[in-house]
């Protein structure tokens, strides 16, 4: 079955064409490079993995309860609309919310794949080209696994969110080489990394936890790449150039804030959309979720030097300014350590399961 046949509403079968701007830049200096970026490139090579082999795809997923969390995690839990729903309708809502969420993860990863390839082409220094090449492979793997997960385990796709599409188009259509970095590595990847982390930590489903943890292990390197590549460059910008980037950050952060508002689900199910969005926007669960969403972006923006009054005022307005004091390096280390720990635990569980099956087979043969 074609993916087009599995969308919640029809999508165009034509490609979405975003005009690319800027030069393809070549460098004839092959030996010089920043050691931190070269070390990151080596880690990128060392950490390549196969989504077919590393993930245990036989683990079950209930499409009506993908995350296996309590109902209180539903954005409109407790609302007038929620109280009107019977159990079958609540199950349908859960199915659509999971489809929408993982579809946005999938579309975001395709955006990251395209932007990473664009960075290889447009960045002027060879050490960044090296690392961006490893990231391009990472993103291809992420598209592969999220597509498989949505198709096989959920069975329903949602179109790309308008806010995500707008930021992708802005990042790709700007002729300055640093804008794809800023849009993707800092804003889109930073928000996705935080969203992956929230859902990794709250899910009760082992496959979801495994999948998100392994993707996060890659994404932690990608955000580190953006920080390293942009920090030195932005230190040398003029005040006008820095103000222009800060304007991009502010607009992008507002788009990203609205990226995880599931308006399309409420529209598809025939709910009162504005009522649902307004309720979710004020709910304690969603307010806490938003704080987590910006836990990676705010300290990263501060670290690369785009920390003018307009940026700070926007973060105060969004209620995420407290994230500025977060330890981004510690968060990234934890992301990598969590993936390694889950892999070890799963290997033990898999070996125990295999021993149990082998024992049953041996017993049957003996009889």
Calculate the average pLDDT of the chain.
89
Chain segment 225-278, per-residue pLDDT in tens = 888 888 889 999 999 999 999 999 999 898 888 778 899 999 999 999 999 999
Q: Which of 18-27, 141-150, 219-228, 253-262 ranks highest by mean pLDDT?
A: 141-150
Q: Which CATH class is domain 3-11+33-334?
A: mainly alpha
Predicted TM-score of the model (pTM): 0.89
Phi, psi angles (nearest 5°) of residue 358: -60, -40
d(CA 94, CA 52): 27
Chain segment 205-215, per-residue pLDDT in tens = 999 999 999 99
What's 151's DSSP letter?
I
Cβ distance 298 to 225 under 8 Å? no
Name, in order, each residue with C-beta under 8 angstroms of 291's C-beta and a sequence gap of 6 or more: 319, 320, 322, 323
CA 346 distance to own-chain centroid:
23
Predicted pLDDT of residue 244: 95
Predicted pLDDT of residue 248: 93
Give me 5's structure tokens: 């046949």
Which sign does the torsion angle of CA 37, 299, 337, 287 carry?
Answer: negative
The answer, yes or no, to whether residue 333 has pLDDT greater than 90, is: no
How sure is the predictor about 359, in pLDDT bands with cuts at 50, 70 and 90?
A: low
For residue 334, how many C-alpha atoms fall within 13 Å in the half-sphere facing its CB? 11
Give me 142's structure tokens: 């992420």
Start-to-end CA distance of the chain, whole Å, equals: 44
How sure is the predictor about 361, in pLDDT bands with cuts at 50, 70 and 90?
A: low
Name, in order, each residue with C-beta under 8 angstroms of 197's C-beta and a sequence gap of 6 or more: 212, 216, 292, 331, 335
d(CA 238, CA 81): 51
Chain segment 151-191, per-residue pLDDT in tens = 999 999 999 999 889 888 888 888 888 988 898 888 888 88
Give me 328's structure tokens: 């981004």
Integer CA distances (angstroms), 260 to 69, 101, 107, 194, in order: 18, 8, 13, 12
The answer, yes or no, to whether residue 139 has pLDDT greater than 90, is: yes
The answer, yes or no, to whether residue 355 has pLDDT greater than 60, is: no
The DSSP-derived string for 175-217 is SSTHHHIIIIIIIIHHHHHHHHHHHHHH---HHHHHHHHHHHH
- Give the residues across from 7 on adjacent strands: 157
Give me 186's structure tokens: 């800092």
Burial code (b: 16+ CB inside 10 Å, e: under 16) for 181-203 equals bbbbbbbbbbbbbbbbbbbbeeb
How much is the average pLDDT of 63-76? Answer: 94
The answer, yes or no, to whether residue 354 has pLDDT greater than 80, is: no
d(CA 116, CA 46): 19
Q: Which of 169-173, 198-202, 359-363 ranks highest by mean pLDDT?
A: 198-202
The answer, yes or no, to whether residue 110 has pLDDT greater than 60, is: yes
CA 281 distance to own-chain centroid:
21
- Give the residues across from 157 on adjacent strands: 7
Which helix (H) or strand (E) is 142 found in, with range?
Answer: helix 126-149
Name, in order, each residue with C-beta under 8 angstroms of 181's C-beta and a sequence gap of 6 or more: 119, 123, 226, 229, 230
Predicted pLDDT of residue 350: 58
């Amino acid at each position: 079955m074609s993916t087009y046949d599995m969308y919640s509403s029809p999508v165009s079968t034509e490609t979405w064409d975003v005009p690319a701007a800027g030069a393809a830049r070549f460098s004839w200096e092959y030996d010089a490079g920043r050691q931190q970026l070269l070390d990151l490139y080596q880690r990128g090579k060392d950490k390549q993995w196969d989504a077919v082999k590393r993930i245990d795809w036989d683990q079950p997923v209930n499409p009506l309860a993908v995350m296996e969390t309590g109902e209180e995690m539903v954005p409109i839990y407790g609302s007038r609309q929620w109280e009107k729903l019977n159990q079958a309708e609540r199950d349908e809502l859960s199915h659509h919310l999971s489809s929408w969420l993982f579809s946005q993860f999938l579309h975001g990863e395709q955006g990251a794949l395209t932007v990473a390839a664009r960075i290889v082409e447009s960045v002027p220094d060879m050490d960044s080209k090296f690392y961006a090449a490893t990231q391009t492979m990472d993103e291809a793997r992420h598209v592969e696994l999220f597509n498989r997960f949505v198709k096989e385990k959920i069975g329903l796709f949602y179109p790309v969110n308008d806010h995500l599409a707008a930021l992708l188009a802005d990042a790709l259509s700007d002729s300055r080489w640093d804008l794809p970095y800023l849009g993707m590595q800092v804003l889109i990847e930073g928000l996705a990394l935080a969203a992956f982390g929230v859902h990794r930590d709250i899910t009760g489903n082992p496959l979801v936890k495994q999948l998100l943890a392994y993707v996060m292990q890659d994404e932690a390197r990608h955000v580190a790449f953006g920080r390293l590549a942009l920090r030195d460059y932005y230190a040398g910008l003029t005040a006008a150039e820095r103000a222009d980037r800060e304007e991009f950050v502010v607009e992008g952060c507002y788009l990203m804030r609205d990226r995880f508002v599931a308006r399309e689900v409420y529209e598809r199910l025939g709910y009162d959309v504005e009522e649902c969005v307004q309720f979710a926007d004020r709910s304690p669960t969603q307010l806490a979720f938003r704080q987590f969403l910006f836990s990676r972006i705010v300290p990263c923006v501060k670290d690369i030097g785009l920390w003018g009054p307009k940026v700070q005022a926007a973060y105060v307005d969004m209620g995420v300014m407290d994230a500025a004091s977060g330890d981004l390096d510690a968060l990234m280390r934890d992301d990598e350590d969590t993936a390694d720990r889950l892999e070890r635990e799963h290997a033990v569980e898999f070996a125990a399961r295999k021993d149990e099956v082998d024992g049953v087979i041996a017993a049957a043969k003996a009889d």
